[in-house]
Structure 1
Amino acid sequence: MTVRVTLISPAMSTALRAARFDDESGLDAGGLDAARSAAGGLSAPGLVLVSPSARCRQTAGALGLTAAAEAPAGWAMGSWRGRTLDEVAAEQPGAVAAWLSDPAAAPHGGESLVQLCARVGEWLDALADGGPRVLAVVEPEVVRAAALHALGGPVEAFWRLDVPPLTGTGLSGRTGRWNLRLGADLA
């Protein structure tokens, strides 16, 4: 059975605006307004999933969505959580260089890029058995990892994908074969 998955990135938050590794801050006023404006523009999903972060939960709520279950969490950043990349780079330039160049590195003590991509790929393939239409509000890095999985692309390409706030990325297919539809603007 073919499944259709729409991944929605969260609206703008203070953490996203500051390029801060998730600090559990919610949406900023502009992000909340944008998400509310986009409400009603979504096709009725069969199943709604939402990542556990505050910005994903608030985006889903502002879009008028009620989660039936939890979607994958964002990238576990360990000791870097709540800090900006600039702050970490100033204190640990070698660690940041390793993190950006080696997909298996996790100098922050959290999850490596390889682990993130594997976790998201397993989740996506499991959805193929879950029904025909799924809508999931997830962190941008989950969208990027899902896109790579769908394309069978190398993990290193993760850094070359941009996911703007409050956009939809469509996937259709089944385990082992996915098609990708990028960048539907929700606002």
Structure 2
Amino acid sequence: MTVRVMLISPAPGPALRAARFDDDTPLDEAGTRLARAAAGSLPGGARAFTAPSERCRQTASALALDAAPAPELRDLEVGRWRGRSLEELAAGEPEAVGAWLADPGAAPHGGESVLALIARVGGWLDGLADGEGGGRVLAVADPAVVRAAAVHALALPPTVFWRLDVAPLTLTELTGRAGRWNLRCGRPLTAG
């Protein structure tokens, strides 16, 4: 059976605006307002999920989704880098940042590697495609999770992960059947 997985990236919040790794801060009023305005643009889905981060849960709520939590969709765990900006880290730990960006298996922050993220998200995605539920699935997930899903689904080299941009409040669709996936990238959710 064919499954269509529609991944929605969360509304912008303080961490995105400050270009720092998210430390589970809530959306600000501007991000919440944008998500509420986009609520009417969502396609219908038989099942809805949300990543456990505050910004994903609040985005799902603002979009009026009755979304079940999906721990497999949690963001890339960046360990001791959480809450810090990439600029700050590049100045203080240039070798570690360079290794992290060049090697998908590296985790100099003490958290999760990009390879581990791709495997985790890929397992969730394959479970949807192999399950008997089929149909349409909506999921609010952090940009790193959306990138990992695309890399896994299309069997791209993991080094491509950092080359994929996922804008806030966009819809990325993966349609799969029998281990084969098709991708439709980044349709913006618009007001009304």
TM-score bracket for the superposition, by shorter chain length: over 0.9
Listed as ranges, the matches of 1:34-113 within 5 Å are 34-70=34-70, 72-113=73-114
Q: Which SS does the other structure have where 2:110 is aligned?
A: coil
Report deviation, 1:184: 1.2
Q: Does the CA contact (< 8 Å) of 1:10 and 1:56 recur in 2? A: yes
1:132 aligns with 2:135: yes
| Distance in 2 (alpha carbons) for counterparts of 1:173 and 1:25 | 33
What's 2:170 paired with? 167
| Distance in 2 (alpha carbons) for counterparts of 1:73 and 1:174 | 24
| Distance in 2 (alpha carbons) for counterparts of 1:29 and 1:70 | 25
Report deviation, 1:175: 4.7
| Distance in 1 (alpha carbons) for counterparts of 2:104 and 2:134 | 32
What's 1:178 paired with? 181
Which range moves more in the overlay, 128-137 or 57-66?
128-137
Which range moves more in the overlay, 173-182 or 48-57?
173-182
Report deviation, 1:51: 0.2
Which range moves more in the overlay, 34-43 or 65-74?
65-74
RMSD of aligned Cα (Å): 1.1
| Distance in 2 (alpha carbons) for counterparts of 1:172 and 1:117 | 18
Q: Which SS does the other structure have where 2:105 is aligned?
A: coil
TM-score, structure 2 normalization: 0.94
| Distance in 2 (alpha carbons) for counterparts of 1:166 and 1:182 | 12
1:74-123 alpha-carbon deviations (Å, 9 max, x no partner): 00000001111111112111111110111111000000011111111111
What's 2:118 paired with? 117
Q: Which SS does the other structure have where 1:74 is aligned?
A: coil
Report deviation, 1:56: 0.3
| Distance in 2 (alpha carbons) for counterparts of 1:44 and 1:149 | 25
Report deviation, 1:131: 2.6
Count of aligned pairs between the two proteins: 187
Deviating beyond 3 angstroms after TM superposition, the runs of 4 or more aligned structure 1 residues are none
1:5-48 alpha-carbon deviations (Å, 9 max, x no partner): 10000000000111111111111222111100001221221110
| Distance in 1 (alpha carbons) for counterparts of 2:52 and 2:69 | 10
TM-score, structure 1 normalization: 0.96
Which structure 2 residue ranges, 5 or more long, are not aligned? none
AA partner of residue 11 (structure 2)? A
AA partner of residue 162 (structure 2)? W
Q: Which SS does the other structure have where 1:83 is aligned?
A: coil
